[in-house]
Amino acid sequence: MSERDPVTASIARKLRRDQTDAERMLWSKLRAGQLGCAKFRRQFPLPPYVADFCCEAARLIVEVDGGQHAESVEADQERTAFFEQEGYSVLRSWNNDVLTNIDGVAEVILKRLGAPTE
């Protein structure tokens, strides 16, 4: 993990307390190694950013984007480029996809993890 940054760590704690419905739903699938036995952390600080979900072993970050992200494409591209520069691959899902097709989103994550899907 990158150096501990108290500001980013504080933001991550707040984001964990104030999860969106989509983040909460996806976390219920990712927590405790339920998905391909992968260990994910939520609201993972990688200063200056906080990744929604991160599997350090697979170097995979999963971002859950709400409607506001349609207006911030450049900022999301910069964020993704930063994570990739740090050695992570980034998978983005829309809130609506998570809320209406959680199993499909989980299957895409499994494929990115390299885990077998049924």
pLDDT greater than 60 at residue 3:
no
**4 — pLDDT class (breaks 50, 70, 90):** confident
Token readout for 69 is 């992200």
pLDDT tens readout for residues 24-78: 999 999 999 999 999 999 999 999 999 999 999 999 999 999 866 556 789 999 9
Domains and CATH numbers, the chain: 6-112 (3.40.960.10)
Phi, psi at residue 57, to the nearest 5°?
A: -60, -40
The region, left, alpha or beta by phi > 0 then psi within -120 to 50, assigned to residue 60 is beta
